[in-house]
Amino acid sequence: MLSGRKLHLQAPAKINLYLKVLGRRHDGYHELSTWMQKLTLADEITLSSVSMGIKLQCPGSDLAADESNLVHKAAVLFFKKTGLKIGVEIELVKNIPIAAGLGGGSSDAAAVLTGLNTLFSAGLSDKELMELGLSLGADVPFFVSGCSAAIATGVGEKLAKIDSLNECWFVLVNPGFPVSTKWVFENFDRAQTVNFTLTSGDNPYILGREINDSIPEKLFNDLESVTAARYPEVSKIKKELTDLGASSVLMSGSGPTVFGIFMDFGLATQCAIYLQHAYTGMVFLTEPLSSS
């Protein structure tokens, strides 16, 4: 009797305004301290209830629409957890670049978990959904949460909500190739130049309190040096954004996407239009997602 229901969802991208690697755990995961901000740039997902099975479609994307897709894995986990004997058709329209440091796959998985919970009135708590999400990826709990911005610690699952940024715009530039998060962390470990400490001046909780007044100048990403050493396009894009008027620039997550922060919409628009000629289809003018 639940067959025939439909739900349309937005799965937002994120950027990391601060990312500090604090150490590697015995299970291979890394302890992090990071400031994450959701964006209005988003993938589009439609869930349609059917009598049985999980069917995934990714029109216009090279993304695999099979059991290896994080969205499919999220649906499998949901039905296993709830025991519901019904199926779903999932249409995923990708607007966020893949393997870009913007959390697209994690956001898609989170949207499917929360969306299925709503579609089928399954009654899973936020805590249960976040636990399911963590088994899929460290960023998934942030996207499951109602936080538009948060300080994340642990492997990314411990969240402290902070105010969303406002009255600023981001120009995101992706050089047009994916970067493996696993590769970045492996090479980060090999570098053995890590200072696994967090000083009070580096503390993102302190940085987070500055956002009501202005964008803090001290944005930081421990992973940027690793990705930029292999892909010089990262440093090139940073310089271009700075030359075009960005007040701050940084690589997001494990990269390779770089963002520039603009306090003036007109200047941000001019920058995005100019860079679109060099990075066709990979330049995005977006803004912070408002706090919910």
Positions marked catalytic: 14, 139
For residue 87, the one-letter residue type is G
Question: Dihedrals φ, ψ of 85, to 5°?
Answer: -100, 70
Q: Are 103 and 13 in contact (CB under 8 A)?
A: yes
For residue 151, the one-letter residue type is I
Question: Dihedrals φ, ψ of 10, to 5°?
Answer: -110, 135
Distance of alpha carbon 101 from alpha carbon 39, whole angstroms: 13
Distance of alpha carbon 287 from alpha carbon 265, whole angstroms: 10
Distance of alpha carbon 42 from alpha carbon 176, whole angstroms: 18
177-to-66, 140, 234, 278, 290 alpha-carbon distances in Å: 22, 23, 11, 14, 29
Helix locations, 54-103, DSSP H: 70-82
Helix 70-82 crosses helix 126-134 at what angle (to 10 degrees)?
130
